[in-house]
Structure 1
């Protein structure tokens, strides 16, 4: 196989893994299991009083989250052919939180949109004369978005849609 064919196959593989992971998340959120997790988040004592084994549900949610994180990490390792410790640094966790808050907490498309925005800005700014100021510029954008869009970009778009079309 030529190098461009291998790259093309790798893109399709990563896309298939992404679609699978997104489908698992979508199905989980809209399943009875997801509804119980929402009930636990909103009012844990009420979920206990309804007879749900809260600890078991939390454990299963953690296992599912860890499995998806492991799948993402292994996919990244296969693509880059490198497993480095920089991904285990606290800075990476901060970036993921930034992506989620920018896109919108509590939405399925919010973290996806936030990730696309942050990664695109990192690549665009790194190639510009402002390359050394990437973290500062991302921080400013984060502060502006948090102050302007309380529920993230996707959350605000959803509010505007509900307000104008319903």
Structure 2
């Protein structure tokens, strides 16, 4: 009989990082080709909105799908980054890349501050703490002078990229958004398939076992929380440049609900699921806008049907059928 210590056995440790599977490389290549061609077939602003929310949902999925932490307050980072980026571009006159970096940095600091407190609780208590902090951010945005209150920050200028490349045209801005969002999604993919990502999965599956193996669980939780908040902020900062607007909608609790819906509908814990979920929800909101409040009802019906019929999400169901990670 083997006397190997279970805690030191290969099966007890997270799997080492591996390269990107061939089928995932193919999906990324096809996705990039489709995105490059997309603005010639659909309205570029709509396509940019889809990309921003795809990045937002992917950032949230990093926390929930791979870290196992349910946050009800991710709109705080998305919205605050939007405000800071819009203010930086309009008042400070920063170029788009610096404005986006300023918004992203603000989201990172906010995520670090909130995460350092929220990770002290688990389960529903963690979720409610994140919601409480998000509501605090919402009321701050409502009252703060630089946010414009209920009016928000409007008419945000599209300054020249690096001070050289004009972004006034929607087509020019589209490719800037494409580079930022696609790069962010590739970065998330790399995190997931790194040793850090493998430890996150181990914590998600069995936190006490991860603690017994010597991992500083709270440090990993704080890192993934901050990374998720940062990438959500990146999506919000870019969105403010696309719509030339930052408003209370970006920090409202319903925005957090939408990103949860996108992630679960597409497939929590998958790479491509949140992107598909974001595309479906944004498309519904855009083309069914004339239905008013009925859009929310339709989204609710789709969510309930999706959970009942395929709780893994659309991409999760496909991954189970094909037996390949997606």
Q: TM-score, normalized by length of structure 2?
A: 0.47
Q: 1:77, CA displacement in angstroms?
A: 1.0
Question: Does the CA contact (< 8 Å) of 2:167 and 2:173 recur in 1?
Answer: no
Q: 1:5, CA displacement in angstroms?
A: 6.7
**Residue 84 of structure 1 aligns with which residue?**
247
The superposition leaves residues 6-42 of structure 1 with CA deviations (integer Å, 9 ceiling, x where unpaired) of 2111100111111111011000000000001111111
Residue pairs, 1:54-133, within 5 angstroms: 54-127=217-290, 130-133=291-294
1:18 aligns with 2:181: yes
- Of 132, 150, 156, the residue aligned with 2:317 is 156
Q: 1:160, CA displacement in angstroms?
A: 1.7
The superposition leaves residues 114-145 of structure 1 with CA deviations (integer Å, 9 ceiling, x where unpaired) of 00001111112114xx3441111111111111
Q: Point out where structure 1 has 5 or more consecutive residues left out of the alignment.
A: none
Give SS of 2:245's match: coil
Give SS of 1:99's match: helix
**Size of the alignment, in residue pairs?**
160
The superposition leaves residues 28-70 of structure 1 with CA deviations (integer Å, 9 ceiling, x where unpaired) of 0000000011111111111111111111111111111111011
Return the structure number with greater helix share: 1
Q: Point out where structure 2 has 5 or more consecutive residues left out of the alignment.
A: 1-159, 161-165
**Residue 172 of structure 2 aligns with which residue?**
9
- Inter-CA distance 98–53: structure 2 relative to 1 (3 Å threshold): same
RMSD: 1.9
- Inter-CA distance 123–35: structure 2 relative to 1 (3 Å threshold): same
- Inter-CA distance 54–9: structure 2 relative to 1 (3 Å threshold): same
Q: 1:82, CA displacement in angstroms?
A: 1.2
Q: 1:4, CA displacement in angstroms?
A: 9.0
